[in-house]
Amino acid sequence: MEEKMNSGLVTSSRKKLTIVDTDVHHGYRAQSDLYPYLTKFNAERFAEWGFGGLSTHLYTSSGGLHGQRVDFDAGEAGDGLGTIGDAHYCSTRLLDANGIDLAVLTGGIAGAASALPDVDYGSALCRAFNDHSMEHWIAKDPRFRLNLDINSQDPLGAAAEIDRLGSHPAVCGVMFSCGAPKPFGQRFYHPIYEACARHGLAVTMHFGSEGEGVNPPPSAAGFPSYYIESRQLRPPAYAVHLASFIFEGVFEKFPTLKVAMVESGFAWVAPLIWKMDLDWKGLRRHTPWVKRLPSEYLVDHFRFGTQPLDEPADPEAIKHIINWIGGSRTLMFASDFPHWDADDPMMTLSDQPEDLRRRIFAENAIETYKLSLPAISQAA
């Protein structure tokens, strides 16, 4: 793998599919990397106070080494836990090494920035992170695509940021972190979706800020003790927003909007579909703006990253789940690099039919994020 070039053209015999990786945690090397993109006041504030203690990882054990793959070079780590500090490292060690054609970048600071009490400060940090990403990532490799960091708790500020950068050809979506004072279907957030619609951007959602800053605790029973328990809270952290988007009627108001959930896994979606559909049949008079079965909105509007891939004892189980959730339309490959539990594209759903694998490894992401492959890759 070492001799591969950072060229976008991969000729390894392992390359069988076009691969779009929809969850790559990019970052910056040091806090000072963001100072050039902040006002003097905010740069001083960031140097002195950082994120106000947020993103300091309440659950202080994780897997791997400091939450990252043990083969991940710590010298390449970003300033935030679980991020890659350097684009070149990502290009060679993730993209070249695994024959990945496009990487949708999901790193960043949206979670911490959106949990700060001062929304203007949070939005300023997002702008700085986006400017850094454009200069130090997007400009470095034609295979990178960017989810803009936005402050979900400053919808008008977020919309302004989307209008500032959202039409750049490498920008494909905006990042939301699941922790929030209110579910994302509510009207408070609609200026963000209006801006996404103007620029044809998807919403990408990632867990991470639950129980932080201005956000409520991570569960209806507060804070569990251990990291392994916090992982069990991830599916519900997505599910509350999924139901909110549907039952608030967001997709009737914004019919082109797509919502991607990454580092989510997907087995939990099947029972949620069944429950939402059954409940809608009995209760739809309460929300008459919800015109269709929840499962229909789901298949048309939601996408799920494959990682972390479940491993049920029954080998047929994953096939059933994929079928029940319309996986040929709803699933997108995600590696979650460089996290300790990242999935290898060669080992992900390798026993599934080729046409399904094409949908999951590339076509669904290309449609959701309106991606075009780099010219050299298309020719390959």
Among residue numbers 253 through 282, which ones bind a second copy (CB under 8 A)?
265, 267-268, 270-272, 274-280, 282
Distance CA 16, CA 361 (A): 11
110-139 positions binding a second copy, by CB under 8 A: none
Report in angstroms how near the CB of residue 366 gets to a second copy at its nearest.
28
Distance CA 132, CA 85 (A): 11
Q: Is residue 192 at the binding interface for a second copy, with CB under 8 A as the rule?
A: no
Span near a second copy by CB under 8 A; candidates 130-138, 194-202, 226-234, 368-376 = 226-234
- Which candidate, 304, 313, 315, 249, places its Cα nearest to that of 272? 304
CB of 309 to a second copy, least distance (A): 9
* Alpha-helical segments (H) within 175-293: 190-199, 227-232, 234-247, 250-253, 269-283
Specify the residue, 280 or 297, whose C-beta has the smaller distance to a second copy.
280
Across the chain, where does the E strand assignment appear? 20-24, 102-105, 144-149, 171-177, 202-206, 259-262, 302-305, 331-332
Which CB sits closer to a second copy, 312 or 353?
312
- From the list 180, 257, 332, 373, which residue makes contact with a second copy (rule: CB under 8 A)? 180
Among 54, 84, 178, 366, binds a second copy (CB under 8 A): 178
Question: With binding defined as CB under 8 A, does residue 142 bind a second copy?
Answer: no
- Of 67-75, 83-91, 164-172, 233-241: span binding a second copy (CB under 8 A): 233-241
Minimum separation from the CB atom of position 209 to a second copy (A): 9
CB 374, min distance to a second copy, A:
35
- Residues 63-102 touching a second copy, rule: CB under 8 A, are 63
On the CB side of 59, CA atoms within 13 Å amount to 19
Region from 19-27, 179-187, 194-202, 256-264 binding a second copy, contact rule CB under 8 A: 179-187
Using the rule CB under 8 A, is 229 a contact of a second copy?
yes
The answer for residues whose C-beta is within 8 angstroms of residue 9's C-beta and 6 or more apart is: 376, 377, 379, 380
Instruction: Return the range that interacts with a second copy (CB under 8 A); candidates 33-41, 110-118, 173-181, 355-363.
Output: 173-181
Shortest distance in whole angstroms from residue 314 CB to a second copy:
6
8 Å CB contact between 161 and 148: yes
Q: Which residues contact 343 (CB under 8 A, 6 or more apart)?
A: 306, 307, 308, 309, 334, 335, 336
| Cα 148 from Cα 201, distance rounded (Å) | 10
* Residue entry with tokens 């970048």: 105
**Stretch of 87-95, 155-163, 225-233, 343-351 contacting a second copy, by CB under 8 A:** 225-233
16: Cβ contacts below 8 Å, ≥ 6 apart: none
For residue 111, the minimal CB distance to a second copy (Å) is: 12
- Contact in structure between 151 and 158 (CB atoms under 8 Å): yes
How far apart are CB 26 and a second copy at their closest, in Å?
24
Placement of tokens 């050039």 in the chain: 36
Q: Which of 51, 137, 247, 251 binds a second copy (CB under 8 A)?
A: 247
Tokens of 15: 């390359």
Number of residues that bind a second copy (CB under 8 A): 72
Question: What is Dmax (Cα atoms) for the chain?
Answer: 62
Q: Which of residues 323-362 bind a second copy (CB under 8 A)?
A: 323-324, 340-341
